[in-house]
Amino acid sequence: MATSIIMPKAGMAMETGTVIEWKVSIGDKIDVGDEILEIETDKVAMPVEAETSGYLLAILAEPGDVIPVTETIGWIGEQGEAVPDAPAGAESSAGDAPAPAAAPSGGTAAAESSNEEPSGAEPAAAVSGGASAERVGDRVKATPAARRRAAELGVNLATVAPTGPDGDVRARDVDAASDGGTGAPAVSPLAREEARRAGVSLDGIQGTGPGGRIQRRDVVEQAGRPAAPAGGVEPSSTRGGQLAGDTRTPLVGMRKVIAERMLESHRTMPPVTLNAEVSVDALLDLRGQLNAGAESAGRRKVSINDILLLAAAKAVRACPWVNVSLDGTDVVQHEVVNVGMAVALEQGLVVPVIHEADRLSLSAVSDRARELGRRARERKLEVTDLEGGTFTVSNLGMYGITSFTPIINPPQAAILGVGTIRQVLAMDDAGAVSRRSLIDLSLTVDHRLIDGAQGALFVKYLVDLLENPARILL
């Protein structure tokens, strides 16, 4: 019996996953534990391993498709085995032979399709020829997948001709009904939604999916093409307000989560940002001493960011009023200090977490930060690497940014922004002028939980710590 491959649920908050790449093809032999595809959650990219042995019978989701968790995205079974309830147009090893139609129990003969709607029935997008769906009481016999597909496409199940062995409606029947029985290629739900948003007609689009199925990428490509010029005049825009040559990409995956989190922060948190500059000459000297002879001794060099992460963790431990979050109407005081470090990727921003950072040595923080950064860039972070953060450090100094206003990552209540090292001339109390190295710090706090004075005390403690860096190592 065929076994379904489902979109896994990696974490309680995960609602959907995006298919990145299938590692196997239709007909390939699969063993338990084989990596069969890669998906992206709202936080990380992760492999999906086979839980059973057999052959890949069908692929129901293409790269780029966003699928709800626990939804079937493929099938594994014996060679030549029929795929249960495969959607029309899905890639399958079972061939293109249609499933045999069965008359509903009770011996009702198949009726010719007509232009009249059944009494009391909702309008359907299209009506497929053949037998009408069998009812159990007032309910049409249909598989769960068929009901979901009907809801997506706006098809009335009562008007769909069933092909299931027991007179039940299958997902392929809904697809056929949606196409009006005209032989038009199937259209994926994601493609329909993309067409609606882009204001693009599906008519005339050449599908590149299995069986000519129109996929989201086909709609995106069509949306980027300018309409044929009328009277030799080149159009400056297309339908939906889109300029000629523009492309549209659905807001999904990591980018969607970033958008939702930042909007939540903006809407729900009254932020206060406190700015201060810190002299880091002593810190640079300390780093030079620590790194002197590191390579010859087989030790890795520590970075300014490593020292800042540890200093921030020590300051959070000393100022517990910033180590809080709001859960409904409850203020949660965190016992552990888990420092998130913002890492910029091509796809967006991730914040892996150094757990209990205040209890680690500088070398341990450095090793952990380097490892998390590497895995983030290789998209190999695990869900646990991104969970449990209580405070975040965002360093844009390597980009030459002197200062900025960081946005709090909910449900945390504070985030520290770090700017680049800049050189200034300063006069001391005796009137002597010297060159100094400064870094600008920007602390944004949730004013519902942290007052301005409390934030200022945290910043003052952190500045004192950084200007006397030997204390960081204690």
Residue 241 is predicted with a pLDDT of 59
Q: Identify the DSSP state of 138.
A: T
Is residue 313 within 8 Å of residue 357, measured between CB atoms?
Answer: yes
Most confident of 17-31, 44-58, 267-281: 267-281
Is residue 351 within 8 Å of residue 340, measured between CB atoms?
Answer: yes
Query: Is domain 255-473 annotated with CATH 2.50.20.10?
Result: no
pLDDT tens digits along 196-241: 777 888 877 887 765 567 877 788 877 765 544 444 444 444 445 5
What does each C-alpha distance from 96 to 88, 89, 130, 211, 273 come to in angstroms? 9, 9, 19, 9, 62
pLDDT tens digits along 124-141: 333 334 445 555 445 677
Residue 306 is predicted with a pLDDT of 97
Check pLDDT > 80 for residue 182.
no
| Residue tagged active-site, from 266, 334, 355, 447 | 447
pLDDT, averaged across the chain? 81
Q: Delimit the domains of the chain by residue range.
A: 3-178, 255-473
State the Cα–Cα distance between residues 393 and 373, nearest whole angstrom: 14
pLDDT tens digits along 402-434: 999 999 999 999 999 999 999 999 888 899 999
Residue 251 CB burial class (10 angstroms; 0-12, 13-18, ≥19): exposed
State the Cα–Cα distance between residues 18 and 378, nearest whole angstrom: 17
Residue 372 is predicted with a pLDDT of 96
pLDDT tens digits along 12-22: 667 888 888 89
Residue 92 is predicted with a pLDDT of 52
Other CB atoms within a 10 A radius of the CB of residue 180 amount to 15
- In CATH, the number for domain 3-178 is 2.40.50.100
Q: Identify whether 447 is a catalytic site residue.
A: yes
Average pLDDT over residues 73-82: 89
Residue 106 is predicted with a pLDDT of 41
Check pLDDT > 80 for residue 283.
yes
What does each C-alpha distance from 92 to 68, 73, 81, 82, 403 come to in angstroms? 21, 12, 10, 9, 55
- Structure tokens belonging to residue 93: 């090893």
pTM of full prediction above 0.75: no
pLDDT tens digits along 383-408: 889 999 999 999 999 999 999 999 99
Residue 67 is predicted with a pLDDT of 86
